[in-house]
Amino acid sequence: MKRLLQWTLVASFIGWPNLAGAQQPDLIFINSQPRYCTNGGAGSYSCADLPSGSSDYWYGVAVGDLNGDSRPDVVITNVAFANSLCLNDGNWSFACGDFGSGSKSSTNAAIEDMDNDGDLDVVFAKANTENELCLNDGSASFSCDVVSADTNTTYGVAVGDLDGILGPDLVFANSHDRNRVCLNDGSASFSCSDVSTEEWYSQDIAVGDLDGANGPDLVFSNYDSLPPITDPGMSVCLNNGAGSFACSDDTSIVATTGVALADLDGTDGLDAVFSKKSWFSAACLNNGTGSFSCHDVGSAEVDKHNSNDVALADINGDGHIDAVFANKREESDHACLNDGTGVFTCGAVGSEDTGSAAVATISPWNFSDGFESGDATRWSSTVP
């Protein structure tokens, strides 16, 4: 399991009113002392601490308007202690406190209206215990219960209407166990089943329509840390329209830690970017059928990093989707600018070598929805 002492998590607020009420992408970094960074324009940032308190075990983040004031609030997960809820007053100021009954061992979170009552709820991915759904009463007060009896070590959670009825549904990325899909009956009760029979060390998941048919599909990043590395770095699971999937694995890339989806080259739908360990990260261009051709992100020796996750956003305002990579301790985080064809030029983000754990992105097309760490695009929103 990752240790947050070594890494920072980054959340990106893209295209909806940011922390100050403007329209540039802002960032949140989660390490032992979470902090937020506001965009001064063209991707330049100034940063300050979130009043969440310090912990070596902060791990994940999700963002959404939880109290109905049209401002993005922040949920920070913790793998050892209480999760944190930070309510935003709209002027770079937050009031943070324990989430409440959202319990320990949370690796990740997603925010979405799971019971169709008009306010955003929170789903927690958990380690070695049941994943948890916390229903919101509309004022950021929550009532929590388990999603199912599954007790996997879950690193990633994503949301989408996977069967075209009664959604939204849930997908969980599990470690050395079968990944799981949980279909919603419309009232936040779930029927769960395996995505496939494979048992990879899945780290992350992204949801989006990869083949232009049958609704949202799934892409998993898989990280096998023990040589010889045999796990495929990418698993693509195409939806039959009813929330059942046909999966294929790609071993041309390995040791991937995060994945995000967006149209990188303006053709053939959603492409994928993967963060990777100890090598170049990868951009994988979709041919429109859910088949991908991958190449390195960056080309210089300095572009090789131990990257833990990736977020996608137009960070310099040129109309192309760029990538921000969260890198391990003693490495600066990196931003890679897209030339519009899926080819990237990279440079350091800031001078700090604090290390980063993960990156969460917020869809620029529907700010009333909630979004989760580890997922770049949302089926419930219009994807780029």
pLDDT digits (tens, 9 = 90+) for 58-96: 888 888 899 999 888 889 999 999 999 999 888 778 999
Cα→Cα distances 323→54, 152, 173, 260, Å: 28, 30, 22, 9
What pLDDT was estimated at residue 260?
92
Q: Is the dihedral of CA 12, 15, 17, 23 positive or negative?
A: positive
| Sheet with 202-208, edge to edge strand ranges | 202-208, 217-222, 234-239, 245-250
Taking a C-beta distance cutoff of 8 angstroms, is the pair 383, 267 a contact? no
Residues in the chain predicted with pLDDT less than 70, given as ranges, are: 1-24, 41-43, 101-103, 225-229, 301-302, 329-330, 349-356, 358-384
- CA separation for the pair 273, 222 (Å, rounded): 13
* Cβ atoms of residues 287 and 277 within 8 Å: no
pLDDT of 16: 43
pTM value?
A: 0.87
| pLDDT, tens only, 160-213 | 999 999 879 999 999 989 999 999 999 999 999 999 999 889 999 999 999 999
What strands, in cross-sheet order, belong to the sheet with 9-13? Answer: 45-49, 35-39, 26-30, 9-13, 358-361
DSSP per-residue letters across 63-105:
EE-SSSSSS-EEEEEESSS--EEEEE-SSS-EEEEE-SS--S-
